Amino acid sequence: MGGISLFKGDSTTVDSNTVISNDLFGVVSGMGNGHIIKNNNIFNHSNGIYLYKSIFSSVAGNKITNTTEFGIIAQYNSNFNTIINNTLLNNYFLIGLGDDCSNNNISNNSANHVLVIDRTYGPPPFSEEELEELNRLYFSSE
């Protein structure tokens, strides 16, 4: 799945980690608010950082290298996020933004290039039910 996964949580900080060679994502933030993803080194994934229904989150100061798809991608009503000061190297696409995402601040990234996707880039990798089950299995104290 991914290296670091945040689902249905609020205000979690992911800072100064190295995430290497996972199948899908280096860091994924799904259905949460106010996450801070900063100063991480993310290498060799399909997508480096994936925001899925994330609101008021910050992605800053990360180094994302060698993705086969996007360095950073925001989809499915990921609104009011800040994506700044990231370094994107050797990624197939740099930054992707679904057309249902709005009011995002994307600036001062190393390539200063945003790929705006017509509609969204395929279906989400997991259904909401699958995300809930993954969250329950991996992040619940029950």
Long-range contacts at 97-101 (CB < 8 A, ≥ 24 apart): 97/73, 98/73, 98/74, 100/75, 100/76, 101/74, 101/75, 101/76, 101/77
96-121 pLDDT tens trace: 888 789 999 988 887 644 443 433 34
Residue 137 domain-assigned (yes or no): no
Tell me whether residue 74 is in a domain: yes
Q: Which domain holds residue 105?
A: 2-131
Q: Residue 140 domain-assigned?
A: no
Residue predicted with more confidence, 22 or 21: 21
Q: Does position 44 have pLDDT exceeding 80, yes or no? A: yes
pTM exceeds 0.85, yes or no: no
CA distance 59 to 67: 17
Total domain count for the chain?
1
